[in-house]
A and B are shown apart, each in its own frame.
Chain A
């Protein structure tokens, strides 16, 4: 018989150890799953976690992908984590990411073929504003009419997807594209190209912004009164009101920041790795970032590491599909296991395991 005994205070050691334990458990359970699928579990795990970085043949391509994939995940997850800390649940980062990309790309495309250095910064700014504005819809509905921000932000993802399809087939379609859906390629147009800052690293403006967001979030949460109020509101809403936190302002702040960061991720993606607005432009970064935020314990440094880990499983997963013929669903299940185990072992932070019979 196993009993759970509550701890007087959350264990710091376990807070750090649980993500590592979760990764190990995921490797074991995932290995069993791969074995059940008839693949060598050790080779599968190695292909996912090791080969993307160190395989002599593939690493040259996949290593820069690590930052390319981790950048948007970290940027979005940092924004979401602020809200999650405060008890404001923005589930619609995917939509804010799309709208940010549409707004920024739309601005740039409207200026085509003007050649000016300020087009990229302007597009980035408008991209952030686009994501912010999309997030303001659930924020205002919540503060005015007490709607549930989880539902509204999530449903707005599907609205954004419809908008994306419409834009790539209509208004933003490349007039010189031979009738194919999708906009002009922004990555190949000098004034908007979000090129690699250091060749062969995958480091672009979006990745740099993500790193800056990590630092800013860390300072906010640990050093600033606003970050303190944010944490307080998440832990004890009544105590936060007593301290003087206005719940409505907090909702607008959290949704606004997370929307703006998701919008930034979107505009950096469309001007860089993706290159153009297309029907399948969004690949689920906004949703995966939720997992990244929790995997990183809603802590900026944790999110940085979790974003890199998640990117690794993406790249490694693709590699495993390619080299071992693992089905895509198995890779998704593998990523799902990671969140599952993380939440499961989370209980150790607040509880102590006791073995033995009930007294």
Chain B
């Protein structure tokens, strides 16, 4: 690009044992530019920005900032150079208020009262309403992100790195965020915007660097590109979208009536009066921003948390208070969001992880004694049917990549031929190829007559596979509506619109 680059990265390489995360990566960002870093999960985006933010030291290559050599050893160095970063996962203390959280992330925080006033000023100036006195534990995900952004803005950054910022936002909140970012760019702040969502990049960015398997495969101007072009550059081939035969929905399989559940901990979300039903052959998509009751809903359906018996009915039978193994025997299966530690035990082998949820339905025990041979065969069947890349059933779950483990976890439930399958975030952190396979498997299962509930924060995914759509907002479920023909605005409103925008009074 031009010689006036704010940040330039030249030939940066970083290898981890067994994988080259960044291979000779070069690009540059000009002041006031919104630069997209685009790539699939595992393409090396995170490693690259961690190098820029001083969290990772590259093996070779060099960077310049403001024309000076730049090699931050710690995030502290990066912040001194005017680089700030908003992480995908927030580092906030739920029990502290907004001002206290901001103070904790600053080098030399001013007195709290003064800081609170500055927070109010900055948040107003950039259209990010935020009450400095509120406890973070009570804020929505979108508001928490504002805390992180304001924390960065207080340092007057020259370069702001945003890592997948919209994954926790409703469509309305995304619009607000984009307005803020455009304003910052107009004032001369450079923004490095990391995402794999193409529409956002087309809407926001001036330049894009596309990474695949650690290498820069293209640099382009998103304003002159189409989503399809970007997608094919990112994936390195043509994408096949899942297909399905539309079938008439059959009898009601799963019926949830007035399901209420107290939160598991102080900052959990209570489920309030959730009602829906799913029919044979149907896919119900449940959207919503993270932390609005998704985990709680899955736990209530899987049986990890018990409700009143009448709240959940499977083919007419009251099972709301039944433990997980009984629900499995009756045909209600689930796959939680967290792969390692919830859906699978990280240090156990795939064979053992197959036993974890399939013991009863697949006859993997006899009089309580495990049939290891049968379990290994079942794990092998999952591996071959779902194209899981692994050394075999004896491999530990944590040795698999996210996408492969997700295929295993979904496959483990699908091959049990459930009547009803509930999945939470089935393609979270999974590469496009694996995501397509998982979605196809869910659609095939529905076509065979199962009822599917997909809980996801990825709206594109839900629109692609769901017959009907409902949204979770603060533990309440909106009435399901046919997915076809729903507009983005309608979906956004079902998700609760822009959280608390009308109620946030800035002092």
Q: Name the segment of B118-126, B271-279, B342-350, B380-388 touching the other chain.
A: B342-350
In the bound complex, residues from chain A placing their C-beta under 8 Å from that of B356 are 232, 239, 242-243
In the bound complex, residues from chain A placing their C-beta under 8 Å from that of B323 are 244, 246
Measured in the bound complex, the distance between the Cα atoms of B304 and A228 in whole Å is: 18
A322 CB, min distance to chain B CBs, angstroms: 46
Task: Please tell me if B59 contacts chain A, counting CB pairs below 8 Å.
Answer: yes
Task: Please tell me if A5 contacts chain B, counting CB pairs below 8 Å.
Answer: yes
In the bound complex, residues from chain A placing their C-beta under 8 Å from that of B325 are 243-244
What per-residue 1/0 map shows which CB atoms of A238-254 lie under 8 Å from chain B? 11011110100000000
Task: Please tell me if B485 contacts chain A, counting CB pairs below 8 Å.
Answer: no
Interchain CB contact under 8 A, A244 and B341: no
In the bound complex, residues from chain B placing their C-beta under 8 Å from that of A239 are 341-345, 356
Given the known interface contacts A235-B348, A359-B59, the answer about A8 and B398 at a Cβ–Cβ threshold of 8 Å is: yes
Considering only CB atoms and an 8 Å cut-off, how many residues of chain B contact the other chain? 35
B210 CB, min distance to chain A CBs, angstroms: 28
What per-residue 1/0 map shows which CB atoms of B272-315 lie under 8 Å from chain A? 00000000000000000000000000000011100000000000
A338 CB, min distance to chain B CBs, angstroms: 26
What per-residue 1/0 map shows which CB atoms of A303-318 lie under 8 Å from chain B? 0000000000000000
Interchain CB contact under 8 A, A223 and B346: no
Measured in the bound complex, the distance between the Cα atoms of B6 and A148 in whole Å is: 56
Interchain CB contact under 8 A, B324 and A228: no
Interchain CB contact under 8 A, B303 and A244: yes
Measured in the bound complex, the distance between the Cα atoms of B234 and A157 in whole Å is: 64
Measured in the bound complex, the distance between the Cα atoms of B338 and A244 in whole Å is: 17
Considering only CB atoms and an 8 Å cut-off, how many residues of chain A contact the other chain? 21
Interchain CB contact under 8 A, B359 and A225: yes
CB < 8 Å: which of B57, B357, B396 contacts A242?
A: B357
- Which residue of chain B lies nearest to A238 when distances are taken between CB atoms in the complex? B342
In the bound complex, residues from chain B placing their C-beta under 8 Å from that of A231 are 348
Given the known interface contacts A9-B399, A228-B355, A242-B356, the answer about A236 and B346 at a Cβ–Cβ threshold of 8 Å is: yes
Q: Name the segment of B64-72, B175-183, B363-371, B430-438 touching the other chain.
A: B363-371
- Which residue of chain B lies nearest to A233 when distances are taken between CB atoms in the complex? B345
Measured in the bound complex, the distance between the Cα atoms of B59 and A228 in whole Å is: 43
Task: Identify which of B59, B334, B357 gathers the most chain A CB atoms within 10 Å of its CB.
Answer: B357
Measured in the bound complex, the distance between the Cα atoms of B348 and A10 in whole Å is: 10
Interchain CB contact under 8 A, A225 and B365: yes
Given the known interface contacts A236-B341, A246-B323, the answer about A224 and B369 at a Cβ–Cβ threshold of 8 Å is: yes
Task: Please tell me if B336 contacts chain A, counting CB pairs below 8 Å.
Answer: yes
In the bound complex, residues from chain B placing their C-beta under 8 Å from that of A9 are 347, 395-396, 398-399
In the bound complex, residues from chain A placing their C-beta under 8 Å from that of B328 are 244
In the bound complex, residues from chain A placing their C-beta under 8 Å from that of B365 are 225
The secondary-structure label for the interface of chain A is helix
In the bound complex, residues from chain B placing their C-beta under 8 Å from that of A10 are 347, 396
In the bound complex, residues from chain B placing their C-beta under 8 Å from that of A226 are 368
Measured in the bound complex, the distance between the Cα atoms of B392 and A9 in whole Å is: 14
Task: Identify which of A232, A238, A242, A244 gathers the most chain B CB atoms within 10 Å of its CB.
Answer: A242
Measured in the bound complex, the distance between the Cα atoms of B365 and A223 in whole Å is: 9
Measured in the bound complex, the distance between the Cα atoms of B328 and A51 in whole Å is: 59
- Which residue of chain B lies nearest to A240 when distances are taken between CB atoms in the complex? B345
CB < 8 Å: which of B302, B343, B347 contacts A235?
A: B347
CB < 8 Å: which of B344, B370, B396 contacts A224?
A: B370
Interchain CB contact under 8 A, B399 and A236: no
In the bound complex, residues from chain B placing their C-beta under 8 Å from that of A246 are 323
Measured in the bound complex, the distance between the Cα atoms of B346 and A239 in whole Å is: 10
In the bound complex, residues from chain B placing their C-beta under 8 Å from that of A228 are 352, 355, 370
Interchain CB contact under 8 A, A223 and B357: no
A219 CB, min distance to chain B CBs, angstroms: 8
B180 CB, min distance to chain A CBs, angstroms: 36
Interchain CB contact under 8 A, B357 and A243: yes
In the bound complex, residues from chain A placing their C-beta under 8 Å from that of B343 are 239, 242
In the bound complex, residues from chain B placing their C-beta under 8 Å from that of A235 are 345-348
CB < 8 Å: which of A225, A238, A359 contacts B368?
A: A225
A224 CB, min distance to chain B CBs, angstroms: 6
- Which residue of chain B lies nearest to A235 when distances are taken between CB atoms in the complex? B345
B279 CB, min distance to chain A CBs, angstroms: 26
In the bound complex, residues from chain A placing their C-beta under 8 Å from that of B372 are 223
Q: Which residues of A from 233 to 281 have beta carbons under 8 Å from B?
A: 235-236, 238-239, 241-244, 246
Q: Which residues of A from 1 to 33 have beta carbons under 8 Å from B?
A: 5, 8-10
Measured in the bound complex, the distance between the Cα atoms of B302 and A59 in whole Å is: 61
Given the known interface contacts A239-B356, A244-B303, A359-B59, the answer about A232 and B345 at a Cβ–Cβ threshold of 8 Å is: yes
A356 CB, min distance to chain B CBs, angstroms: 14
In the bound complex, residues from chain B placing their C-beta under 8 Å from that of A242 are 302, 304, 324, 334, 336, 342-343, 356-357
What per-residue 1/0 map shows which CB atoms of B145-180 lie under 8 Å from chain A? 000000000000000000000000000000000000
Measured in the bound complex, the distance between the Cα atoms of B208 and A246 in whole Å is: 51
CB < 8 Å: which of A5, A225, A236, A241 contacts B370?
A: A225
14 contacts between A and B (CB under 8 A): A8-B398, A9-B399, A10-B347, A225-B355, A225-B359, A231-B348, A232-B348, A232-B356, A235-B346, A235-B347, A238-B338, A238-B341, A241-B304, A243-B324
| Shortest Cβ-Cβ A-B pairs, 10 listed | A244-B324, A244-B325, A236-B345, A238-B342, A9-B396, A239-B345, A8-B399, A241-B304, A243-B356, A236-B341
Q: A9-B398, A235-B348, A359-B57 are in contact. List 15 more A-B contacts (CB 8 A).
A: A8-B398, A9-B396, A223-B369, A224-B368, A224-B370, A231-B348, A232-B348, A236-B341, A236-B345, A239-B344, A241-B304, A242-B302, A242-B324, A242-B356, A243-B324
